[in-house]
Chains A and B, each alone.
Chain A
Amino acid sequence: MKINITAQPGSTKINKTAGWRTFRPETDYNKCIACGLCARVCPENIISMSKLSPDKKFRPETDYDFCKGCGLCAAECPVKAIKMELQKK
């Protein structure tokens, strides 16, 4: 037995759950008004408002390791800045 199958506390994050995503949300920062609605409606809580370069303004940042592509952010975006794009393997 080479694989240690006992899990340490707080180690659930090693299981990346984005594998079942079909559509990937792509945010157009030129349209985005940084209202933060997408971050609030995300059921996975994986959109965070962070200061992004180059202008160091608050923008929504999606963690694609855990985004399952539900599309809620795109549906709720008031300026239609998020597009759901088909992912192919």
Chain B
Amino acid sequence: MTKNNKSQILEGSRAIALTIKNIGPEVVSAYPITPQTHIVEDLAKFKADGEADYEYVRAESEFAAASIILGASATGARVYSSTSSQGLLLMTEVIYNIAGMRLPVVITCANRAVSAPINIWNDQQDAMAIRDAGWIMLFAENHQEAVEQHIVAYKIAEKLKLPVMVNVDGFILTHSYEEVYIPTAAEIKKFLPNYKPTKGEYLDPANPKTLGAFASPAYYMEIRQELHDDLISSLTVIKKETENYKKIFKTSGANDNGLFEYSGPAKAKIILIAMGSVIGTIKDTIGEKNKNIGILKIKTYRPFPQIEILNLIKKTGAKNIAVIEKAIGLGYAGPLYLDIKTALQGKIKIEVKNFIVGLGGRDVTKKMITEIVKKTTAKGQELEFIGKI
């Protein structure tokens, strides 16, 4: 976290909006949806007040907003949008197209439960719907991390021609106030130069081209495999750019490599794994002095850093893992749990349990975390919903 005297107390949405303003996209398009609203409201106001010079396009739906930024990005512009829940689901077709066309789009998802029943509060089910669409998926624990991940997101997106989604827990991050430092436009430019699209690979009326054109069985598979391979190899770039960011902005975070952050003893018996703001509650419950329990925060969920996670868990010598998540793969298990199991399968002897918490905005309390820790080593079901407050 950056600690300096220029920090302010800001609402999470405002912190993200100010960061985007300083990053300087050329086109912003969005459709309002709770709990993303404050982000795009702020961005619209900056434009109206003459504080920003991007094109702000009001869209008639999320499908249109995503299509507008797809088109704008295809012309070689830096773009931004933000959405939530049903809005992300409505964007889905375009989300796949953006990845397939290799456009460096950055979107913020203010994570929220999906219908039905309709619910406007936080969980991470929305993001899970598009986790395999070819996007880099980052998850933030707090405001400062969200600010940093947005800046890094543009860097890696533009470097690799891969879209990035920064996930922030709805309300918990978007509507809460916290100390946060927003790098100035000049500071950001040192890390993130102006975007220059590759010559001949963007839409230009003087030099007509088609993006995302028909690919027959003879070509499609190689193109998809390349997207997959490039996503996997982006792990290295995410790590490198996180290091660069730390150097340029003089931020700490020795255990944070951009892919995940491990906190706790070097040798642990139990490891709790989670993503997003719930990590704050977990850290608060476990405490810094605990000698048995380690906490692993996944920051990069796609591509999934499976080898790095396996190596870390091996090193700790842990015997039990609890995957705590705010999403459920209905009919099977939590998506993160399945990914962790796959990463460890056959390589290490370890017990992994899955705890589903906080669906539809149910508060995740310290009491629940304590209960989860107890259940991690006890005999019982592999998957459990922990809901009693």
Whether A and B are associated in the same complex: the answer reads yes
The CA of A3 and the CA of B220, in the complex, are separated in Å by: 11
Residue of A nearest to B230 (CB): A1
User: Is A6 close to B, CB under 8 A?
Assistant: yes
Interface residues on A, range: 10 to 19
Q: B160 contacts which chain A residues (CB < 8 A)? A: 1
User: Is A30 close to B, CB under 8 A?
Assistant: no
The CA of A7 and the CA of B208, in the complex, are separated in Å by: 9
The CA of A8 and the CA of B211, in the complex, are separated in Å by: 9
User: Is A15 close to B, CB under 8 A?
Assistant: yes
User: Is B222 close to A, CB under 8 A?
Assistant: yes
Contact of B209 among A3, A6, A12 (CB under 8 A): A6
Interface residues of A in 1-58 (CB under 8 A from B): 1-9, 11-12, 15-17, 19
Query: Knowing A1-B161, A6-B200, A6-B201 touch, does A15 contact B208 (C-beta < 8 A)?
Result: no
Tell me the count of chain B residues lying within 8 A, CB to CB, of chain A: 23
Query: Knowing A4-B201, A6-B200 touch, does A16 contact B218 (C-beta < 8 A)?
Result: yes
The CA of A4 and the CA of B160, in the complex, are separated in Å by: 13
**A to B contact number (C-beta, < 8 Å):** 46
Q: B217 contacts which chain A residues (CB < 8 A)? A: 19
The CA of A6 and the CA of B199, in the complex, are separated in Å by: 11
Q: A17 contacts which chain B residues (CB < 8 A)? A: 216
Query: Knowing A1-B226, A6-B201 touch, does A15 contact B215 (C-beta < 8 A)?
Result: yes
User: Is B214 close to A, CB under 8 A?
Assistant: yes
Q: B226 contacts which chain A residues (CB < 8 A)? A: 1-3
Query: Knowing A5-B102, A7-B209, A7-B210 touch, does A15 contact B222 (C-beta < 8 A)?
Result: no
The CA of A85 and the CA of B388, in the complex, are separated in Å by: 69
Interface readout for B200-212 with A: 1 if CB under 8 Å, 0 if not?
A: 1110000011111
Tell me, rounded to whole Å, the shortest Cβ–Cβ distance linking A63 to chain B: 15
The CA of A9 and the CA of B211, in the complex, are separated in Å by: 11
Tell me, rounded to whole Å, the shortest Cβ–Cβ distance linking A46 to chain B: 16
User: Is B101 close to A, CB under 8 A?
Assistant: yes
CB atoms of A8 and B223 under 8 A apart = no
7 extra A-B contacts, CB within 8 A, seeds A5-B212, A7-B211, A7-B213: A1-B226, A3-B222, A6-B209, A12-B214, A15-B215, A15-B216, A19-B218
- Can you list 29 contacts pairing A with B, beta carbon distance less than 8 Å? A1-B102, A1-B160, A1-B161, A1-B226, A2-B226, A3-B222, A3-B223, A3-B226, A4-B200, A5-B102, A5-B212, A5-B223, A6-B202, A6-B209, A7-B210, A7-B211, A7-B213, A9-B208, A9-B209, A9-B210, A11-B213, A12-B214, A15-B216, A15-B218, A15-B219, A16-B216, A17-B216, A19-B216, A19-B218
